[in-house]
């Protein structure tokens, strides 16, 4: 029995009569077919999105202010943001990718480590571990004694569902409890430094 076409599924979801005898005969196919179920979910999302109409307009003064940013943020007059050094970290190690035994950090972090990741940017490293129970613990390490860059830093973990923020301790440590599997971005920010882990994939099995 073949899958229904987008047109046939649309007619089904919109409550329209089947347009062909063949379509009518295959309607029972919908319930037990994974590709058809996936298409139906997409169509329902499409129809729901269309029923909402366009996103609301933006007030004109906001549009104009955003359009003016290139003029007001010109390099000739650097503002406070221009003094922040920003580094994008790249992944060096992921024990989930290579089937490696995770590093032994259990005693320090309060539980066995399920997964260990290491990111690096310039002279900084971000050492992350998912520990038993779902906590994410990390440490920002500077190999050239640039500790003052991290004074008063915060760490922000941004997921699809929420963002969470925690202080970075003087030794560079930070910790998030109960981190669910998912895709995240991680930011370590101080007044002088912004260290970014743009893609932190915690969906892989540990």
Partner 1 sequence: MSERTEESPAEIARELCRGVLSGNPEAWERLVEQYGRLVLAIPRELGLGEDDCEEVFQTTWLALYRDLHRIERPGALPKWIATTARRHAWRALERRKRDGAVVPSGEEELRGGAVEGLLAAESRQLIHDSIEEMPGRCRDLLLLLFFDRRPLSYAAIAGELGVAEGSVGPGRVRCLAELARILERRGLGVD
Instruction: By CB under 8 A, name the binding residues for partner 1.
Output: 5-7, 10-11, 14, 16, 38-39, 41-43, 45-46, 48-50, 52-58, 62-63, 65-67, 69-70, 73, 81, 86, 88, 156, 158, 160-163, 165, 185, 187
For partner 1, the closer of residues 86 and 108 by Cβ is 86
Structure tokens at 169: 């301790």
* Coil, strand or helix at 153: coil
Structure tokens at 206: 């540990």
Task: Report in angstroms the alpha-carbon separations of 170 from 120, 127, 155.
Answer: 19, 15, 13
Distance of CA 22 to the CA centre of its chain: 44
Q: How far is the CB of 107 from partner 1 (least distance, A)?
A: 32
What are the beta bridge partners of residue 91?
A: 119
For partner 1, the closer of residues 40 and 128 by Cβ is 40
Q: How far is the CB of 55 from partner 1 (least distance, A)?
A: 4
Q: How far is the CB of 67 from partner 1 (least distance, A)?
A: 5
């Amino acid at each position: 029995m073949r899958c229904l076409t987008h047109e046939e599924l649309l007619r089904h979801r919109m409550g329209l009569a089947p347009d062909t005898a063949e379509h009518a005969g295959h309607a029972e196919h919908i319930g037990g077919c994974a590709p058809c179920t996936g298409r139906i979910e997409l169509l329902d999302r499409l129809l729901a999105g269309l029923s909402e109409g366009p996103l609301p307009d933006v007030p004109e003064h906001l549009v104009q202010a955003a359009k003016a940013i290139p003029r007001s943020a010109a390099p000739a007059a650097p503002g406070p943001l221009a003094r922040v050094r920003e580094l994008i970290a790249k992944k060096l190690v992921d024990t989930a990718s290579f089937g490696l035994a995770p590093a032994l950090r259990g005693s320090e972090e309060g539980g066995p480590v399920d997964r260990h990741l290491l990111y690096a940017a310039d002279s900084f490293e971000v050492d992350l571990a998912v520990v038993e129970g779902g906590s994410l613990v990390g440490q920002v390490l500077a190999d050239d004694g640039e500790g003052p860059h991290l004074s008063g830093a915060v760490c922000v973990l941004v997921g699809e569902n929420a963002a969470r923020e925690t202080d970075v301790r003087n030794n560079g440590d930070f910790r998030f409890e109960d981190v669910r599997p998912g895709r995240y971005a991680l930011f370590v920010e101080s007044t002088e430094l912004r260290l970014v882990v743009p893609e932190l994939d915690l969906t892989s099995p540990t």
